[in-house]
Amino acid sequence: MAKATGILKIEGTLENITFYKSADGQMVRTKGGVSKKRILNDPAFIRTRENGAEFGHSANTAKMLRTALGPMAFKAKDRLLFSRLLKLMSQLKNLDTTSARGARKVAEGLVDVNAQQLLKGFDFNSKAGLKTVLLATIAVDTATGEITTADFNPVEQIKYPAGATHFSMQSAFLNLDFNTGIANISFSPSTSFPLAQGIASPVLTPSAVPDGTGTQMFFLLIEFFQEINSVQYSLNNGAYNVLNLVEIL
């Protein structure tokens, strides 16, 4: 694999050379491998077909979770979020001990006692983890989705970016069925606090308990803002924001 350094930005295949764009820039590689028809039909590639089916399933469930969170997922993420979610879903799928190879499912893997520990504490923005940003105790009422934070001093117990004058906190209660893809979610109001000496005691209560069946997940979002002339502006497109899966049932 090579990297294109010229001024021409080509995407596609020319003879046996493929040009494509990645996060690392314009890349070049030679075309090769086995034909798609052979992979789909040759008994020698049954393992490949099984792996492909499970990879597709893991990718689909990763998309389910990201989509179910709606705009909240776009307020705190890094450029590798989907690949990290895909890896996580693949690990959950591997915990399925009942389905045949090639048909293992995330929903079945979640039955395993270790599954919840894989998901719990997942940070959607790897550059801003909850444990490194907020130095305060969090409690979750799993019956209502209410998230409370013990009294804390924002100046001393929040790691905030330069230029920030305020931060906000919001919770979400998600019920997601990984088998059907049906998702129901409720959000709490977003509560803003100044980054100043004092005591903050956030109580974040979702508007309702979401309907449906599936995996119940509880999220906490922290955003940072700079106030100018009474208007709060998000800092650097959310690069410092936190979104954490704080509890799961």
Q: CA 64, CA 177: separation in Å to the nearest integer?
A: 9
Q: CA 130, CA 98: separation in Å to the nearest integer?
A: 35
> How is the chain split into domains, by residue range?
1-32, 43-119, 130-248
| Res 176 pLDDT > 90 | yes
CB atoms within 10 A of CB 52: 14
Q: Residue 2: its pLDDT value, please?
A: 46
At 165, is the pLDDT very low, low, confident or very high (cuts 50, 70, 90)?
Answer: very high
Q: Higher model confidence: residue 210 or residue 16?
A: 210
Percent of the chain residues past pLDDT 70, beyond the cut: 79
Mean of per-residue pLDDT scores for the chain: 85
Q: Residue 33: its pLDDT value, please?
A: 62
Q: Are 195 and 154 in contact (CB under 8 A)?
A: yes
* Mean pLDDT, range 180-187, rounded to an integer: 93
* Mean pLDDT, range 210-220, rounded to an integer: 92
Q: Residue 31: its pLDDT value, please?
A: 61
Q: Higher model confidence: residue 48 or residue 110?
A: 110
* Mean pLDDT, range 134-144, rounded to an integer: 94
At 130, is the pLDDT very low, low, confident or very high (cuts 50, 70, 90)?
Answer: very high
* Mean pLDDT, range 143-162, rounded to an integer: 94
At 65, is the pLDDT very low, low, confident or very high (cuts 50, 70, 90)?
Answer: very high
Give the list of residues 6+ apart from residue 179 with CB closer than 8 angstroms, or none: 105, 107, 214
* Mean pLDDT, range 185-201, rounded to an integer: 94
* Mean pLDDT, range 18-43, rounded to an integer: 62
Q: Residue 126: its pLDDT value, please?
A: 92
Q: Are 167 and 193 in contact (CB under 8 A)?
A: yes
